[in-house]
Structure 1
């Protein structure tokens, strides 16, 4: 039924649980898993040399976090014999990055955790999962 399953990750434990669930589901359906990690752009203000240094430090740390997160997803897929491809993209609106990737990759399902952030941060930033549910053109499976 499913051919390509998109799994967005933010590196949280819940995202890793969603990755395992997606890998199991992909194995049953003979599907491929596409992993995506969305990096928020650096809030560049363009003043002084410190901005360039801050940008490099931010991007380096963000890419390391993305690589760690996608490695967990790749390992889950490898353990189950499921094909995997992963990518890191930069978008200022995370849910748009997820829905754009689903469309660009031809994914027919998105599997993601119900939330990655906790407490006040989640309250102020809103739920990425909720926004993906609202805007996705393909089915979305939320893992709690």
Structure 2
């Protein structure tokens, strides 16, 4: 289950946890951090990178902690991972494959809002490129 900490991801988490509980399965959460968007020279670039990563990792921790809490409340095993990828949907799919997931459950769109007519751009690309089933939870 990819999460970005948005309200829609939280709603999708409830669905994912209920489904996992009914099947005696584990939830694997993933938060994908976009790499630092600016490549510069000197100390300012290094400080900017450190600040960006610290903030991104804090947001990832909060989002994964929230997903873990939903799992814990229903007695569902949970594993969480934060990864860095240039392309978010690829990170989601790679994590699902590496973890041996049977299903990707995700929100229809995340904190960046609707970027496509029906689905967010990340959800649409996961649906398009994933080799495993994908369940989209509409918010």
Flag whether TM exceeds 0.5 (same fold).
yes
Once superposed, which parts of structure 1, at least 4 consecutive aligned residues long, lie more than 2 Å away? none
Write 1 or 2 for the structure with the bigger share of strand. 1
Task: Name 1:101's counterpart in structure 2.
Answer: 95
Pick the aligned partner of 2:74 from 74, 80, 87. 80
Is residue 118 from structure 1 mapped to residue 113 from structure 2 by the alignment? yes
Q: Distance in 2 between matches of 1:45 and 1:98?
A: 24
Give the paired residue count.
134
Quote how far apart the aligned CAs of 1:43 are.
2.0
Task: Name 1:20's counterpart in structure 2.
Answer: 14
Q: Distance in 2 between matches of 1:118 and 1:137?
A: 25
Secondary structure of the residue that 2:2 maps to in structure 1? Answer: strand
TM (norm. structure 2) is 0.93
Secondary structure of the residue that 1:8 maps to in structure 2? Answer: coil
Gap regions ≥5 residues in structure 2: none
CA displacement, residues 50-89 of structure 1 (integer Å, 9 cap, x when unaligned): 0000000000000000000001100000000000000100
Task: Name 1:4's counterpart in structure 2.
Answer: none
Q: Distance in 1 between matches of 2:22 and 2:102?
A: 15
TM (norm. structure 1) is 0.90
Superposed CA RMSD in Å reads 1.1
Gap regions ≥5 residues in structure 1: 1-6
